[in-house]
Structure formats: structure tokens, C-alpha cells
């Protein structure tokens, strides 16, 4: 990370915080490779918390320069006008993704807004804070599609899609994730928004062993599948995604839709389209959702892939 790259970062942040976004937003997506020398850094504005994430060790000298620049930013009048409270630097390349506080008050949890919905984030404990900002348009799409529908949210994590679905008027949402703690945070996110929890279910199950249980709760009008690229001992995207796609048509109502996602820069959208065609021909590819503009990528095929599929109306309906 050269002094010139740090100059670019400083200029970008000064501009992005004048004025600061009114909701949570990524301010710099270096991993999209649009800023030379900043490919291993991201910066998120979380309504008072500035979270800078480093994905590779920049070296002792560059790290010290980055820390000094960020601390200088937190001492400016602009930081005060923006409502800055805490500045965090997360070392994603270190074991446990150590997070250090460079300025402001200590913080472990913090509530943010996205499209008017509230979400509670965790800092200094987990690698991920609890909401993936690049999926904003995906959550918005689900909210727009959800009215009166039954929704299945696979790999639910902290239930961002579920919160969006209930906000959009979903009749029922079923959330499934192996991590019970993440689902507990999802339940809390629903409570933050005053949602009726009788419409929401949470199951800490292994998806690949739970098809029968999910089928009994279906059929569903909308299914979201946003798996990790790799989850040790349970899911490898390139091997296991087709197992998921194969079973989705039998869980869907005729005309039902699937939002299938991949966020691995090495896997292109055609991977999902080809896999669906091979193992779930009843699913017809409809469109790829746009990514938020704050996530530019020098190679668009490398960014987040959020693909919409639709089940043939003519296919026989699963029984309720």
C-alpha cells in the first residue's frame, strides 16, 4: 500500500463523508480493483461507525501509515459533522479477524438502517458484522416480491432476507441455517422492526439433511439461496450447490421464484445458470439483479451474482 494509494483513500473518504450517507453504505470497495494499490481494503460507513477491513497484511510501514491517516481523519471537523463515533480497523488476514479501535468509544453492538429497516451488528467478536451490504438490492427485490407469499430463506445467517420479506407483507417466512447464534440475531432483527414473529420460523438444521422437513412446511412461492463459498465440514459451493438447485423445484409453487446467489469472484453467473439447466430444468433463468453502485468491479462478472429463476407454471404442483 503505497503513499499514493493512501492519498487516494484519504481523498475518497473525505469526499464520501461530506455529507455522510444517511444509512449504512460501503464507502470504498477496493476489492473491485478499481483503485490501484487498494485492492485489499474495504471501508463501510455504519451510521457513526467507520469499519475499515484489511484482507492482506500490508507490511509494518504501510500499516502504520494507514493507522495514522485514519486517526487523523477521526480528528477532523468533518468526522464530527458526519456523526462519527468509532473508527475500527479489522485485520481479516489475522486469525480471528482481529479488530482494533483506532478512535472513539468502545463498541460491541450497533444498530443501522437499510431501506428504513433496522439491523443489529456485532463488532470485535466475529469475522462478519451481521449484514452483507452488497446484497442491498437483493433484499429490496425480496421485499418488493413478498406480499402475500410464503418464503423460504436458506443459509439465512442473521435473516436479512427474512426481515425484508416480512416488511414486504410476506404471509410466512421459514429461515434455515446451521448457526443457531446467527438465527438468534435474526430473531432480534425482526423484533427491532416490530414484526409479528408468529409469521417467522427459525430452524438450526443442516440443509442437505432437511429436505423432508422443509417440504412438509411448503410449498413456497419464493426461495432465497445465498450460501457461503466454503463452510468446513458442511458445504462446498462448487460441489454442493447443484444438490440444492436439484431440490428447489419440488419445494416451489408453480410460477414460484428463486433468488440464487454467489459471491465468489472466481465463479461466474453462468455457473449457476448451467447448473440449474442440468439438474433443475423446471427452473427458467429470468434475470441477474444489478449490484449497488458503491460496489464497482473492474470485471463485472467477478462481483456478486444474484440470479432470479422461475418455476414452470405447467410443472405439477407439490401438495400442501
Q: What is the mean pLDDT of the chain?
A: 93
Neighbours of 97 (CB within 10 A): 17
Q: Which residues contact 150 (CB under 8 A, 6 or more apart)?
A: 170, 171, 172, 173, 174, 218, 219, 220, 221, 222, 253
CATH number at residue 205: 3.40.50.150
**What are 79's three cell numbers?**
468526522
**What are 10's three cell numbers?**
484519504
Q: Given a cut of 60, is residue 121 above it in pLDDT?
A: yes
Cis peptide before 36 (omega within 30 of 0): no
Residues 166, 145: contact at Cβ < 8 Å?
Answer: no
Residue 233: pLDDT band (50, 70, 90) is low
pLDDT on residue 203: 97
Domain assignment of residue 112, yes or no: no
Co-location of 181 and 300 in the same domain: yes
CATH number at residue 80: 3.30.750.80
Q: Kindly list the distances between the CA atom of residue 183 and the CA atoms of 160, 173, 282, 302, in Å, as whole numbers in the listed order.
A: 10, 13, 31, 29
d(CA 235, CA 210): 14
pLDDT on residue 318: 42
Q: Which domain holds residue 182?
A: 133-311
Domain assignment of residue 201, yes or no: yes
Lowest-pLDDT range of 2-11, 19-28, 145-154, 225-234? 225-234
Mean pLDDT value across residues 108-128 = 91
Tens digit of pLDDT for each residue in 73-91?
Answer: 999 999 999 999 999 999 9
Co-location of 65 and 146 in the same domain: no
Q: Given a cut of 50, is residue 319 above it in pLDDT?
A: no
Tens digit of pLDDT for each residue in 189-206?
Answer: 999 999 999 999 999 999
pLDDT on residue 1: 86
Co-location of 171 and 292 in the same domain: yes
Domain assignment of residue 174, yes or no: yes
Co-location of 169 and 94 in the same domain: no
Element (H, E) at 249: helix 237-251
Q: Check: pTM over 0.85? Answer yes or no.
A: yes
> Given 107, 123, 155, which residue is the final one in a domain?
107
Mean pLDDT value across residues 3-21 = 96
Co-location of 93 and 138 in the same domain: no
pLDDT on residue 14: 96
d(CA 51, CA 94): 16
Residue 314: pLDDT band (50, 70, 90) is low
Domain assignment of residue 38, yes or no: yes
Q: Three-state SS for 225? A: strand
Domain assignment of residue 286, yes or no: yes
Co-location of 95 and 61 in the same domain: yes
d(CA 51, CA 230): 24
Q: Of 185, 25, 187, whose CA–CA distance to 115 is shortest? A: 25
Co-location of 74 and 151 in the same domain: no
Residues 258, 272: contact at Cβ < 8 Å?
Answer: no
Co-location of 88 and 19 in the same domain: yes
Q: Given a cut of 60, is residue 315 above it in pLDDT?
A: no
Q: Which residues contact 316 (CB under 8 A, 6 or more apart)?
A: none
Co-location of 102 and 192 in the same domain: no
d(CA 160, CA 145): 15
Q: Kindly list the distances between the CA atom of residue 118 and the CA atoms of 28, 84, 114, 189, in Å, as whole numbers in the listed order.
A: 22, 19, 7, 7
Co-location of 58 and 169 in the same domain: no
- Any idea how long the chain is? 320
Mean pLDDT value across residues 223-252 = 88
Q: How many domains does the chain have?
A: 2
Tens digit of pLDDT for each residue in 267-312?
Answer: 889 999 999 999 999 999 999 999 999 999 998 777 899 999 999 8
Co-location of 15 and 144 in the same domain: no
Q: Given a cut of 80, is residue 252 above it in pLDDT?
A: yes
Q: Of 144, 8, 21, 2, whose CA–CA distance to 82 is shortest? A: 21
Q: Of 120, 124, 72, whose CA–CA distance to 100 is shortest? A: 124
Co-location of 191 and 92 in the same domain: no
Amino acid at each position: 500500500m503505497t503513499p499514493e494509494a493512501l492519498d487516494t483513500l484519504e481523498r475518497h473518504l473525505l469526499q464520501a463523508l461530506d455529507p455522510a450517507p444517511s444509512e449504512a453504505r460501503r464507502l470504498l470497495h477496493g476489492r473491485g480493483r478499481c483503485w490501484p494499490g487498494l485492492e485489499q481494503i474495504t471501508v463501510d460507513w455504519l451510521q457513526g461507525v467507520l469499519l475499515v477491513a484489511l484482507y492482506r497484511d500490508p507490511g509494518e510501514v504501510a500499516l502504520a501509515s494507514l493507522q495514522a491517516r485514519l486517526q487523523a481523519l477521526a480528528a477532523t471537523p468533518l468526522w464530527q459533522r458526519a456523526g462519527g463515533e468509532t473508527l475500527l480497523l479489522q485485520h481479516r488476514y489475522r486469525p480471528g479477524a482481529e479488530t482494533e479501535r483506532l478512535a472513539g468509544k468502545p463498541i460491541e453492538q450497533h444498530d443501522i438502517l437499510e431501506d428504513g429497516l433496522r439491523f443489529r451488528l456485532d463488532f470485535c467478536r466475529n469475522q462478519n458484522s451481521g449484514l452483507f451490504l452488497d446484497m442491498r438490492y437483493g433484499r429490496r427485490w425480496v421485499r418488493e416480491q413478498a406480499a402475500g407469499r410464503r418464503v423460504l430463506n436458506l443459509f439465512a445467517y442473521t435473516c436479512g432476507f427474512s426481515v425484508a420479506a416480512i416488511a414486504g407483507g410476506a404471509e410466512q417466512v421459514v429461515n434455515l441455517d446451521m448457526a443457531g447464534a446467527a438465527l438468534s440475531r435474526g430473531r432480534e432483527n425482526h423484533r427491532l422492526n416490530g414484526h409479528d414473529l408468529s409469521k417467522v420460523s427459525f430452524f438450526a438444521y443442516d440443509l442437505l439433511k432437511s429436505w423432508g422437513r422443509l417440504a412438509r412446511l411448503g410449498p413456497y412461492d419464493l426461495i432465497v439461496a445465498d450460501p457461503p463459498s466454503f463452510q468446513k465440514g458442511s458445504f462446498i459451493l462448487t460441489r454442493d450447490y447443484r444438490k440444492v438447485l436439484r431440490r428447489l423445484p419440488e419445494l416451489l409453487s408453480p410460477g414460484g421464484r428463486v433468488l440464487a446467489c454467489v459471491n465468489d469472484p472466481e465463479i461466474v453467473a453462468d455457473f449457476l445458470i448451467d447448473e440449474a439447466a442440468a439438474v433443475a430444468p423446471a427452473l427458467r433463468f429470468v434475470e441477474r439483479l444489478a449490484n449497488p453502485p458503491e460496489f464497482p468491479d473492474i470485471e463485472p462478472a467477478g462481483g456478486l451474482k444474484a440470479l432470479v429463476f422461475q418455476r414452470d407454471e405447467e410443472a405439477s404442483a407439490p401438495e400442501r
